[in-house]
Structure 1
Amino acid sequence: MDDSKGGSSQPIHISSEQVQRFCEFLYRRTGMSFAESKRYFIDRRLEDRIAATGSSSFQEYFSLLRTDADQEIEHLINSFTVNETYFYREEHQLRCMTASLLDVIVSQKEPGSTLRIWSIPCSTGEEPYSIALWLMENWPQVDNYNIEIVGSDIDTRALKAAAQGVYGDRALMRLSRDIIGRYFGPVASGNYQIDKGLRESIEFTRANLIDTKDMMQYRDFDLIFCRNVLIYFDDASRRLAAENLYDCLRPGGYICLGHSESMSRISPLFRVSRFPDAIVYQRPEVDDG
Structure 2
Amino acid sequence: MSDVLDEAAVGIIRDFILAHTGILFDDRHTHDLCRHITSACTDLKIPPETCVQQVNDSSFQVRFLEVLVKYITIGETYFFRDKNLFLYLRDSLLPDLIRSRRQEHKLYLRIWSAACSSGEEPYSLAILLRYLLVDVDDWDIYLLATDINQQMLNRAQEGIYSRWSFRDDPLIPVGSFFSPTPDNRMKIDDSVRTMVRFERMNLIHDSSFYNALGPSSLDLILCR
Q: TM tier, shorter chain? A: 0.7 to 0.9
Alignment of 1:35 with 2:30, yes or no, is: no
Q: 1:207: Cα distance to partner?
A: 1.8
1:14-163 aligned at under 5 Å gives the runs: 14-56=5-47, 58-67=48-57, 68-69=59-60, 71-106=63-98, 107=100, 110-139=104-133, 142=136, 145-163=139-157
Aligned-residue CA RMSD in angstroms? 2.4
Q: 1:205: Cα distance to partner?
A: 0.9
- Would you say the 8 A contact 2:180–2:187 is kept in 1? yes
Alignment of 1:206 with 2:221, yes or no, is: no
Alignment of 1:173 with 2:170, yes or no, is: no
Deviations 1:103-155 (A, max 9, x none): 44342563353211111111100000001112222455645532221111111
Q: How has the CA–CA distance of structure 1 residues 211 and 63 changed in structure 2, closer, same or farther, with 3 Å as cutoff? A: same
Deviations 1:212-243 (A, max 9, x none): 6444355411111112xxxxxxxxxxxxxxxx
- Would you say the 8 A contact 2:113–2:221 is kept in 1? yes
Deviations 1:195-219 (A, max 9, x none): 1222122100122222264443554
Higher relative contact order (CA 8 A, sep 6+): 2
Deviations 1:76-98 (A, max 9, x none): 12221001010011122222223
- Would you say the 8 A contact 1:111–1:145 is kept in 2? no
Distance 1:175 1:55 in 2: 45
- Quote the sequence identity (%): 27
Distance 1:98 1:184 in 2: 20
Select the residue among 206, 211, 220 that pairs with 1:216. 211
Partner of 2:223: 226
Q: How has the CA–CA distance of structure 1 residues 76 and 48 changed in structure 2, closer, same or farther, with 3 Å as cutoff? A: same
Q: Which has the higher helix share?
A: 2
Deviations 1:146-204 (A, max 9, x none): 2221111111111111100110011012356x945311122243211111222122100
Q: How has the CA–CA distance of structure 1 residues 51 and 12 changed in structure 2, closer, same or farther, with 3 Å as cutoff? A: farther
User: What TM-score, normalized to structure 2?
Assistant: 0.84
Distance 1:125 1:94 in 2: 15
Say which SS state the counterpart of residue 189 (structure 1) adopts: coil
- Would you say the 8 A contact 2:14–2:24 is kept in 1? yes
Where structure 2 has 5 or more consecutive residues not aligned to the other structure, the ranges are none
Letter in 1 for 2:12: R
Letter in 2 for 1:38: H
Partner of 2:183: 189
- Would you say the 8 A contact 2:5–2:49 is kept in 1? no
Q: 1:102: Cα distance to partner?
A: 2.7
Q: How has the CA–CA distance of structure 1 residues 134 and 39 changed in structure 2, closer, same or farther, with 3 Å as cutoff? A: same
Distance 2:144 2:53 in 1: 35
Say which SS state the counterpart of residue 216 (structure 1) adopts: helix
- Would you say the 8 A contact 1:30–1:210 is kept in 2? yes
Distance 1:190 1:202 in 2: 24
